[in-house]
Amino acid sequence: MPRAARKLFFFPRAHTRTRRRLPPDPTSPSFLNSLSYPHPHSRAAQAAETGGNEKEAVKAYFNNVGFDRWSRIYSESDDVNSVQRDIREGHAQTVEKVLGWLGGSPLAGVSVCDAGCGTGSLAIPLAFKGASITATDISAAMADEAARRYEAEAAAPGAPPRPATPPTFAATSLDELSGGPWDVVTCIDVLIHYPQAKVDAMLASLVGKASKKVILSFAPSTPYYEVNRGRGLGGRGHGIA
């Protein structure tokens, strides 16, 4: 399909939540005092540990402390705080929205690349709907967990039939994604973790690998988000979740 026929969807994460908490006043003394020391999960701190390489910092984070944190958030565990639960609910609503967009017709024979698959919350249900899934994540720990969860769901009593083409899960960053083209490329709740200066090139690469649709989610830029992004917290609680 020619490039002009592709569809590119953007929807801000904040719009998918049914409830919102007011963020702290970024000008208040208590908030400013909290910024007076290097946060252990700030962008600067993470990059310093990898010689200034932000991509390697993201990879290291999601293979270690980030894996424990986010795999718990993207599960049914009760061991989550209120911020983590809010993230879980917002992510679940985003996944449901994407499934609604793609699930209106049979997906057998439809190829989908879920770039930044995390623990498989989108890739796994798409696979059971019959899509041919290539799921990737910068973190090997995340990709392995997604594969484990797929096998667990496939083996569970009452599970839907396994897809004709089993999903594949691999550790690959967005800028190293190879293969395709796929009918659909999805990238959900991922771009927030990458350096903004590299996002345009990553988006161009994702669009180039989709023959029909690219579906993305992103966090709207606000003063509170930008302050937290510098600390590695992100607009969805990254680093404090």
Tokens representing 75?
Answer: 């599960």
pLDDT in tens, 100-118: 998 766 788 899 999 999 9
Instruction: Name the CATH superfamily, with its identifier, for domain 3-20+40-230.
Output: Vaccinia Virus protein VP39 (3.40.50.150)
Query: Which residue ranges make up each domain of the chain?
Result: 3-20+40-230
pLDDT in tens, 117-158: 999 999 999 999 999 999 999 999 999 999 999 999 999 999
pLDDT band, residue 223 (cuts 50/70/90)? low
What average pLDDT does the segment 210-220 reach? 86
AA letter at 112? V
Distance between CA atoms of residues 88 and 90, nearest Å? 6
**DSSP, residue by residue, the chain:** --GGG-EEEEEEGGGG-S---PPP-TTSHHHHHHTSS--TTSHHHHHHHTTT-HHHHHHHHHHTHHHHHHHHHTSS-S---HHHHHHHHHHHHHHHHHHHHHTTS--TT-EEEEET-TTTTTHHHHHHTT-EEEEEES-HHHHHHHHHHHHHHHHSTTPPPPPSS--EEEE--GGG--S--EEEEEE-S-GGGS-HHHHHHHHHHHHHTEEEEEEEEEPPP-HHHHHHHHTT-TTTTTTT-
pLDDT beyond 50 at 49: yes
Of the chain, the percentage scoring pLDDT greater than 70 comes to 68
Backbone angles phi, psi at 99, to 5 degrees: -60, -35
pLDDT beyond 50 at 27: no
AA letter at 29? P
Q: Please tell me the predicted confidence (pLDDT) of residue 4.
A: 47
Q: Which of 14-18, 28-32, 57-61 has the highest mean pLDDT?
A: 57-61
> Which of the pair, 66 or 135, is modelled with greater confidence?
135
